[in-house]
Every structure is written in structure tokens, then in C-alpha cells.
Chains A and B, each alone.
Chain A
Amino acid sequence: MLDVALASAGAQVVLATSSDENFPPENIIDGSGSTFWLTTGLFPQEFIISFTNLMNINNIRLLTTNVEGLSIERSVQNEPVNFEPLTEKVLEFVEGELQSEDIQVDATTAHHLRFVIKSGFDHFISIHRVNVNGSAVH
């Protein structure tokens, strides 16, 4: 199992609802926790990560700030369409450091993952890393 949500592994952020050139969505998949995507106001916010092909996945790890309500959806299509719910979370507020959230998803498959941030503990939330433990479906 490898982190399949890395630009170096061919993953792409194909949609993001906020864009500040100083904090682009590509920062989510660059492998570094010190760079981040920053939302620019309003909720909900969302982004979609597309993998190179259909993946078996079992664990998602998020490094964030100020995220409260979060839902994750998956698509198994070649194009990022027909998303279905995967899991919903309400994160805890953490003061002065990043939120680190481990989400077990019982052995499932996905070609694309959509992350919807429904609410936050601040006007602006940041996503530093999304780790998706997975391997290509053969």
C-alpha cells in the first residue's frame, strides 16, 4: 500500500472551490505538510482528487486547520461523475496546531475522491495534506 494521493504518483486536484495563487490546491498533493490550500471564504467548500486509475483504498489521513463538518464521496467512473457517499466526520477544534484525522474506510475502491468541507471553526480553513493509502486495482 502506498500514498496514491501524491502529484508524484500521478494524482491531480481536478476541482477546488477556492483559488489563491499563493495557496493553490496543488499544495494538497505535494507531499508536504507545510504548504496548504487555503479557502477564501464561505461554506461549503470542496475539492476533488483524481487518481491515475481505479484504486483499492483503506485509509485516508488529513492534515488540516479549522475544518469542522466534512464529508467524503467516491467515484469509480473514469470521469469524476456519479459520486456516492463514503463517510462523514465532525472534526474537533485544535488550537495552535494542525488537525490530524485518520479515517478508516473499509476496503473500498475509488478513482476520484470528493472532499466537501461543510463548516469550519473559522472563516477560512486550510488543507495541508491528504494521504490516501491504496494500490491500483488490477
Chain B
Amino acid sequence: MVVLRAKCIVAGDSTVGKSALVQTFHSDGSHFPKSYTMTEGVEVCVKSVVIPDTSDTVELVIFDSAGKEIFYDHVKKNWDHPSVVCLVFDLSSEPSFHSCSKWLERIRNQKPEIVLPGVLIGNKLDLEQRRTVTPKFPMEFASSHGLEYFECSAKEQQNVEAPFYYLAQEFYKMYQTKAETITSMAM
């Protein structure tokens, strides 16, 4: 039995629902913040994910980061040694999707030589009528940057856990691979 720990950076433009997503996931769906509170700086929470068919766990240390540009200088100070990336945009806001490449670059620049598993999440799937981003472009963007694409609704608790489970799994796989590589290297 092993407990791994991964620093999960959640980034994206302001008001796309990063905090709503994180809080919904963290509370197993019991807490969706109904009114908007702007995140200033970074809010940290921890959520354990059990890896299926094992007794192993990945603790995601989630860094819910302010999307407002004015906090960025402060935010990036908390981004050293990232383990996994979670990019969020709003399916009803094209600009928020286009910003994802900027956010990804900023996180990867922390440690360019390290492989960072990542997800791209289109949030607010419940706002069907106002949707302006079709799945085509995010899917293309995700696959060209080695990310996995998810669509979800934090409000309706739809598909919120899937991206985080994916990140935990990927981190777990990296650990397994690393353990094998080092074992054979040290023989």
C-alpha cells in the first residue's frame, strides 16, 4: 500500500468555474458555491483518490488558482514543482477557451523538462442554450498538447470526478513506470 502525493494546478480565466469545480469534487458533490466569490491568490485543498483494483491512493493537493490577471504574480509563486495540470474553460465563452494555451504554457514553463499529465475541462455543460464552444476545437487542442479532454457541469455534478480520477491514474502510472525504470537501472 502506498500513498502518492500530486500537486494539481487548476488554472484558467476567471469566472469559468474553477472553484465551483474544485469544491464540488472536494465535497463529493455536497457543496456547490451558489454565489460567486472571486479567488484571490491560491486556495489549497486535499482530496484522496483510491486507484481501482489496488490498495494504493493518490492524494491530490489541489491548487485552485485565481484567474484574474492582477493576481498572477502572486499565483505563480505557488506553482513550483507542479505534478499534474487541470485547465478549465467555460463552454459558453470562446475567449476563455483561447486563454487555455496561455495558462498551459505558464504552468509548463515552471519545469519544461518534466512530463506533466494534464486535462482540459469545458465547464458549464448545463448552459446548453449559451454554449459557443463545440467539442471539435478543444479536442484538437487537447490531443496536440497531450491533454485529455472532458466536459462537465459543476452545477449539475455531471462528470466532475472523471478528470481528477484521470489525473490521479496518470500520476500513479508514472510512479509505477519510474519505480521499474530505476529498479532495472540500479541492477
Interface residues of A (CB under 8 A from B): 19-23, 33-36, 38, 40-43, 65, 93, 96-98, 119, 121-124, 126, 128
Q: Is the CB of B114 within 8 A of A123?
A: yes
C-alpha gap A38/B185 in the complex (Å)? 14
Is chain B's interface secondary structure helix, strand, loop, or mixed overall? mixed
Please state if B5 and A40 are interface contacts (CB–CB under 8 Å).
Answer: yes
Q: Quick check: A21 and B171 within 8 Å, CB to CB?
A: no
The chain A residue with its CB closest to the CB of B113 is A121
Min CB gap A126→B, angstroms: 5
Contact mask for chain B residues 59-80; partner A; CB cutoff 8 A; 1 contact, 0 none: 0010000000000000000001
Q: Smallest distance from the beta carbon of A117 to chain B beta carbons, Å?
A: 11
Knowing A122-B178, A128-B186 are in contact, say whether A40-B114 is a contact too (CB < 8 A). no
Contacting A at CB under 8 A, from B17-35, are: none
Interface residues of B (CB under 8 A from A): 1-7, 61, 80-81, 83, 113-114, 171, 174-175, 178-179, 182, 185-187
B126 to chain A, nearest CB (A): 34
Bound complex: CA of A19 vs CA of B5, how far in Å? Answer: 11
In the complex the two chains form, is B3's CB within 8 Å of A40's CB? yes
Q: Complex Cα distance A48/B2, Å?
A: 21
Task: Please provide the 9 A-B residue pairs with the shortest distance between their CB atoms, ordered closest to farther.
Answer: A41-B5, A20-B2, A34-B186, A43-B81, A42-B5, A40-B4, A41-B4, A124-B178, A126-B182
- 10 pairs of residues in contact across A and B, judged by CB atoms under 8 Å: A19-B2, A38-B182, A40-B2, A41-B6, A42-B5, A122-B114, A123-B6, A123-B171, A123-B174, A126-B182
